[in-house]
Amino acid sequence: MTVPLGMPRPDAGLVDRFGRRATDLRISLTDKCNLRCTYCMPAEGLDWLARDQVLTAGEIARLVRIGVDSLGVRELRLTGGEPLVRADLVEIIAALRSEHPDLPISLTTNGVGLDKKAAALREAGLTRINVSMDSLHPGTFAQLTRRPFLDRVLKGIEAAAEAGLGLVKINAVLMRGINDHEAPALLEWAVARGFELRFIEQMPLDADHGWTREGMITAREIRELLGRSFVLTPDPRSRDGAPAERFEVRRAGSPDVVAGTVGIIASVTEPFCADCTRTRITAEGKVRSCLFSHEETDLLATLRGGASDADIAAVWQQAMWAKPRAHGMDHVGLGAPDFVQPDRSMSAIGG
Ligand code: SAM
Ligand code: SF4
């Protein structure tokens, strides 16, 4: 295969034109989900992919092998859609673990059904888990996810902690007038249990296109909301390309005791594009160099067309070489509309 002009050397890994190197691979295992979070999916769901359009366990294993052995991938996160709805999830993780004994493998899940699978996931070799939970009130949870499943999620989180799935991280998105007032209660709940809470700024990746820059809760507001009950100080540990800015948390009444840590992922208002280390593969095997890309490269078609590992690696490298410098999201509605929302929603990309 000829390598196009301006491309990096085959041994250079997943580098782009701006000198970034992607070492953190996120693979979406399915576009399907059993929740309908308002900031992600429409109430009626989406047109799901046909089974034969989705990466098989063997194809996932091959792509991870190419990523790790040839392209410098050092970390893997499995996501979706909802990865727990995939019946072969435990087998996928076990196969990946047997080939890559030292690869950190984490999972992002909504936690529904996790109580039944947490121990098996740990046994299969999962390193860590992030569970999304935006509210501790059953009614608010149901309003946000359009499903009354808070008790199942709480059971799942408990099971993950019991199974020894590392430091359990909890992801929460705050929506104005719905759950923003819950920010301190969510943090108190998480630190009391030894979990790390991460607030994610709402991004314009909802299928309903309901996001507005003025309506979203910003990182600055999150810090202010938390500051009413806690003292936050920057975590002295290096951020090292991580999307979350981390803070040590002290309760207002006990300023000498670090109760835990909290992360804030300010993708919109304090973007970290310059330090991005991510490469994403959707459930149907398309490479996205950025969450907000308008372009995708069909790796699965290349793979199913009989390409060699070297050819697949070259196609993946080429896709990442074209990664945009930044997403321009913070200007939407503020006088410089240089951001256009991608056609795909978060669930269809793989968050
Ligand atoms: N279904 C799993 C879950 O909810 O954790 C995994 C996939 S979900 C797309 C991954 C993460 O993306 C979740 O933590 C979810 O809250 C977050 N997310 C989804 N839509 C978002 C949006 N528009 N803005 C910010 N975060 C979003
Ligand atoms: Fe499903 Fe996760 Fe999207 Fe919620 S955020 S609808 S749980 S994919």
* Residue 138's CATH number: 3.20.20.70
Tell me which residue range forms the domain holding 213.
10-349
* DSSP assignment string, 165-196: -SS-EEEEE--TTTTGGGHHHHHHHHHHTTPE
- How far apart CA 1 and CA 221 sit, in angstroms, is 51
Which helix (H) or strand (E) segment is 231 a member of? strand 230-234
Q: What is the Å distance from ligand 1's center to 4 Cα?
A: 35
**Cβ neighbours of residue 260 under 8 Å, at least 6 residues apart?**
190, 191, 194, 195, 196, 248, 249
What pLDDT was estimated at residue 197?
Answer: 98
Specify the pLDDT at position 15. Answer: 96
In a domain, 174, yes or no: yes
> How many CB atoms sit inside 10 A of residue 229's CB?
15
For 19, the token pair is 């000198």
Is 107 a member of any domain?
yes
Least confident of 57-66, 109-118, 238-247: 238-247
User: Which of 30, 38, 40 best tests ligand 1's pocket when mutated (most atoms within 8 Å of CB)?
Assistant: 40
**Whole-angstrom Cα distance, residue 118 to residue 113?**
9
In short, whether 113's Cβ falls inside 6 Å of ligand 2 is no
Q: What is the mean pLDDT of residues 324-333?
A: 68
Mean pLDDT over the full length of the chain: 92
CB of 85 closer than 8 Å to CB of 116: no
Query: Over 80: is that where the pLDDT of 337 sits?
Result: no
Residue type at 334 in one-letter notation: L
Report the alpha-carbon distance of residue 235 to residue 220 in Å, rounded.
17
Written as six digits, the tokens of 84 are 């727990």
Provide the pLDDT for residue 271: 86
Q: How far is the CA of 173 from the centre of ligand 1 (A)?
A: 8
Look at residue 72 and tell me if it is in a domain. yes
pLDDT of the residue at 227: 95
- pLDDT confidence of residue 25: 98
CA angle 277, 3, 7 (to 5 degrees): 40
Question: Which ligand approaches the C-alpha of residue 216 most closely?
Answer: 1
Residue 325: CB partners within 8 Å, gap ≥ 6? Answer: 18, 273
The helix (H) or strand (E) run that includes residue 132 is: strand 128-132
Does residue 1 fall inside a structural domain? no
Q: Is the pLDDT of residue 4 over 60?
A: no
Does any domain span residue 92? Answer: yes
**Cβ neighbour number for residue 320 with a 10 Å cutoff:** 24
Q: Does residue 2 sit within a domain?
A: no
Which pLDDT score, from 0 to 100, does residue 332 have?
A: 52
- Number of independent structural domains in the chain: 1
Confidence of residue 334 (pLDDT cuts 50, 70, 90): very low
pLDDT category at 208 given cuts 50, 70, 90 is confident
105 in a structural domain: yes
| % of the chain beyond a pLDDT of 90 | 76
Residue 11 in this model has a pLDDT that exceeds 90: no
pLDDT at 45: 92
Q: Are strands 278-281 and 286-288 parallel, antiparallel or unpaired?
A: antiparallel
Structure confidence at residue 329 as a pLDDT band (50, 70, 90):
low
User: Burial of 324 by CB count in 10 Å (0-12 exposed, 13-18 middle, 19+ buried)?
Assistant: middle
Nearest ligand 2 atom to the CA of 40 is 3
110: Cβ below 6 Å to ligand 2?
yes
Digit-coded pLDDT (tens) for 103-155: 999 999 999 999 999 999 999 999 999 999 999 999 999 999 999 999 999 99
Is residue 184 included in any domain, yes or no? Answer: yes
Does ligand 2 come within 6 angstroms of the Cβ of 346? yes
